[in-house]
């Protein structure tokens, strides 16, 4: 982002653009020029001096907590979230001054974009955790082989299983797709804003979700086979019981008839 009226400052991201301290000083000077009357004498070669000046002024003259030190910013790998947090604090402070300058609007746009990205990242973390937890719990349920010793109740288990496949699973599959779209959108947005693209933590990546989903598919397949085998087993037992009862009934009738004949 080209900072209005400050040719030496070019804010393009929330990392390297702030390393030399000039962007911080320009932001302060834009709203409170009386605090840095010597701004034009500042150079990017004196990064630590510029950063210290900006942070000291914010703390002592504006009452903004000193969240950063020069050594936190003037490094090879800057913590982007720390920079954003500090700039948001400055932005809120200067917003109270009702400054509607071009720079203020541009900064608001950049910060708003960063906050949107942070919200999207938080949404991703929440949704991926919820989906993975559901997959894990569902696999546990599908892996249960303690079937009831009753054919009608086993049929109820099969009905529950089919309901899961046509209702629960499709809704979660849609969530999985939405999660992939969310991550792609977030990373594309950050690349467009020259920010470091968000990378999910180990165990929360799309590849982890895909792997978990494959395990779910296997557990689902095994569950269906187990249910159908159990139904066949119990149907055979029921047929054997029916056959046995029929034979027992015939034998009992034969004995009864025999006793009647003997009694005559």
215 versus 106: the higher-pLDDT residue is: 215
Q: Is residue 1's pLDDT more than 80?
A: no
25 versus 109: the higher-pLDDT residue is: 25
Right CATH for 16-99 from 1.10.418.10, 2.20.25.10, 3.30.450.20, 2.102.10.10 = 1.10.418.10
Q: Is residue 99's pLDDT more than 60?
A: no
Report which of 72, 97, 75 is spatially closest to residue 85, judged by C-alpha positions: 72
Q: Provide the residue ranges of all domains of the chain, joining segments of one domain with +.
A: 16-99, 115-263
9 versus 100: the higher-pLDDT residue is: 9
DSSP line for 2-28: B-TT-TT-B--SSSGGGTTSHHHHHHH
Show contacts of 73-80: CB within 8 Å, 24+ apart.
73/18, 73/19, 73/21, 74/19, 74/20, 74/21, 74/47, 74/48, 75/19, 78/14, 78/15, 78/16, 78/18, 78/19, 80/13, 80/14, 80/15, 80/195, 80/196
Topology adopted by domain 115-263: Methane Monooxygenase Hydroxylase; Chain G, domain 1 (1.20.58)
Mean pLDDT (whole number) for 175-189: 92
Q: Is residue 3's pLDDT more than 50?
A: no
Bridge partners of 10, per DSSP, are 2
Q: How confident is the model at residue 194 (pLDDT cuts 50, 70, 90)?
A: confident
Tens digit of each residue's pLDDT (9 = 90 or more) over 117-129? 888 999 999 999 9
Tens digit of each residue's pLDDT (9 = 90 or more) over 197-248? 889 999 999 999 999 999 999 999 999 999 999 999 988 878 776 777 777 6
Tens digit of each residue's pLDDT (9 = 90 or more) over 136-171? 999 999 999 999 888 889 999 999 999 999 999 999
pTM here is: 0.56
């Amino acid at each position: 982002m080209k900072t209005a009226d400050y040719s030496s400052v070019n804010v393009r991201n929330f990392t390297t653009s702030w390393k030399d301290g000039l962007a911080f000083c320009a932001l302060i000077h834009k709203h409170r020029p009386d605090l840095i009357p010597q701004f034009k004498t500042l150079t990017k070669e004196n990064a630590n001096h510029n950063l210290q000046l900006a942070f000291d002024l914010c703390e002592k003259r504006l009452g903004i907590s000193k969240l950063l030190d020069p050594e936190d910013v003037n490094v090879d790998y800057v913590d982007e979230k720390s920079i954003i947090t500090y700039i948001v604090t400055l932005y809120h402070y200067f917003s109270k001054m009702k400054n509607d300058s071009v720079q203020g609007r541009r900064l608001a746009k950049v910060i708003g974009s960063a906050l949107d990205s942070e919200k999207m990242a938080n949404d991703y973390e929440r949704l991926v955790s919820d989906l993975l937890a559901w997959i894990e719990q569902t696999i546990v349920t599908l892996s249960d082989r303690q079937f009831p010793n009753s054919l009608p109740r086993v049929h109820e288990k099969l009905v529950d299983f089919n309901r899961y496949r046509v209702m629960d699973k499709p809704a979660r599959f849609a969530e999985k797709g939405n999660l992939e779209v969310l991550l792609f959108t977030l990373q594309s947005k950050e690349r467009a804003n020259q920010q470091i693209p968000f990378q999910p933590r180990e165990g929360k990546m799309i590849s982890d979700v895909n792997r978990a989903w494959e395990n779910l598919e296997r557990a689902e397949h095994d569950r269906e086979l187990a249910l159908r085998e159990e139904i066949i087993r119990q149907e055979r037992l029921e047929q054997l019981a029916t056959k046995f009862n029929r034979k027992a009934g015939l034998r009992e009738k034969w004995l009864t008839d025999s006793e009647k004949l003997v009694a005559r």
